[in-house]
Amino acid sequence: MNADDRPEDENPHLDRPLRSFGRIKARPIKPRQAALMETLLPAIAVPDPNAGPLDPKTMMPEATEVWLEIGFGGGEHMAAQAATRPDALVIGCEPFVNGVASALRHVEEGDLKNVRIHADDARDVVDALPDASVDRVLILFPDPWHKARHNKRRLLQDETAQAFARILKPGGALRFVTDWLDYAEWALERLNRTEGLERMGPADQDWFVPPADHVVTRYEEKKLGDTTPVFLEFVRR
């Protein structure tokens, strides 16, 4: 295999970060969802973040808050949160095509007008958002990348943690959830040392207790990890 035949994130000639997610498509998409990919997705897609800065106000001028969910899976959590807060712009990022298709069905069935979707790498959106422009960042069950040599692919790195702190408004909150204990410890270490972020609640708080507004998803019910879900909550000072 020559350099130009390597996967995108293994090609040294491409100046891109390592991919933090696994597969981007699995089984064939159902006809109804495939139709939504052609009709609904273009209507609610986030503007191309590589074309310039993103202004959330252009996506939903009347929004009172801006939420960013990274890796929304099948979209159940994102749709449920958007339904409870129709006044908030909910930006969802997910590169897994089947997940995007599923989320579109939830958006249509819920007649949700406040959801915008980026069907690709969330880091592009984060980089394009202005400083102090987001009220909440939600990261639920990101790919754990178990092997030590693959840890560098984890979404939560020092650089991304600082980027989340940059886009959060003062008082804005970040929620990180994982069902892999090693990743929870990894995330806690990096978030604790990120300038501008402070852990919410007492130091001895039980990190297995879900927040009041947590929405259990089908993925969570599968219990694929090695621990009960861990919830980390940080606030932007």
Residues of the binding site for substrate: 147, 179, 217-220
Question: Binding site for S-adenosyl-L-methionine, residues?
Answer: 69, 94, 121, 143
Structure tokens at 48: 């191309």
Q: How far apart are CA 211 and CA 125, in angstroms?
A: 26
The Cα–Cα gap between 118 and 218 comes to: 21
The answer to whether the CB of 166 falls within 8 A of the CB of 229 is: no
Cα(64)–Cα(84) distance, integer angstroms = 13
Nearest Cα to Cα of residue 66 among 79, 75, 74, 57: 57
Which residues are documented as binding site? 69, 94, 121, 143, 147, 179, 217-220
Catalytic residue from among 5, 127, 143, 226: 143
The whole-angstrom separation of Cα 214 and Cα 195 is 26
Cβ(41)–Cβ(64) under 8 Å?
Answer: no
Does residue 48 carry a catalytic annotation? no
CB 191 within 8 A of CB 163: no
Residues paired with residue 197 on neighbouring β-strands, in sequence order: 236
Reported in sequence order, the residue ranges of 143-200 that DSSP labels E, i.e. its strands, are 168-178, 197-199
Residues identified as active-site: 143
